[in-house]
Structure 1
């Protein structure tokens, strides 16, 4: 069973989440490991990385992330491309188990700029 979901998010949040996920994987850390290194609940990073949750990193978390990764400067954490758009629409395909009660896999299938019609 599959579901298609659409989310509106700032491109900065989306890019930061994916950047941190990449750093986490390079360092060999699980979601729980990074959450604990940040001094937060074990489920925090998993919730942030999940497309079904609305959790995001805040300015407070940026300092905690920099420390958890061992960066001396916050700017070392923020080494990714400046977003082209303010807000984006993300289309996610979720594969569910047979009963439809659990998400087995989530995949981003489309990213497009969010445009507000003025007039």
Structure 2
């Protein structure tokens, strides 16, 4: 049986920012460690931001740094599909083995999104209470 995990309530803009930065990073061929170094942060910083298991997420200060790292003129460049609605979501995900270069399963796990649920709440504290029900 596959166990389904769930994040605490976060704003959709936080999630989409993380997803978009991951795409940009991969397009440049940068590892999480390389982007962390370019930002001037600890080697595991980007990995923590990209992990659904971790509470660390990018904030406004990070966006200013990322804007310089990627050579953007505007913070809007992080959202090519437009700024997402300011709604809270809970992400349900499962853990699956990462694939090695030869296609076999690794011992390392990655998170795969199963479902994104919109939470009807005005604050994160309120959203987290609702998501525990």
TM over 0.5: yes
Cα deviations by residue, 1:34-81 (Å, 9 ceiling, x for unpaired): 010001111000000011000010110001101111224333334343
Aligned counterpart, 1:83 = 84
Q: Could you tell me the TM-score, scaled by structure 2's length?
A: 0.74
Q: 73-82 or 84-93: which moved more? A: 73-82
Tell me which moved more, 66-75 or 51-60. Answer: 66-75
Asked if residue 71 in structure 1 is aligned to residue 76 in structure 2, the reply is no
Aligned residues: 112
SS in 1 for 2:4: strand
Distance 1:71 1:52, change over 3 A: same
Aligned to 1:3: 3
Q: Identify unmatched segments of 5+ residues in structure 1.
A: 97-101
Q: CA RMSD in A?
A: 2.1
* Local SS of the residue matching 1:56: coil
Q: Which residue of 2 aligns with 1:112?
A: 117
> Greater RCO between the two (CA within 8 Å, min separation 6)?
1
Q: Identify, as 1 or 2, the structure richer in helix.
A: 2
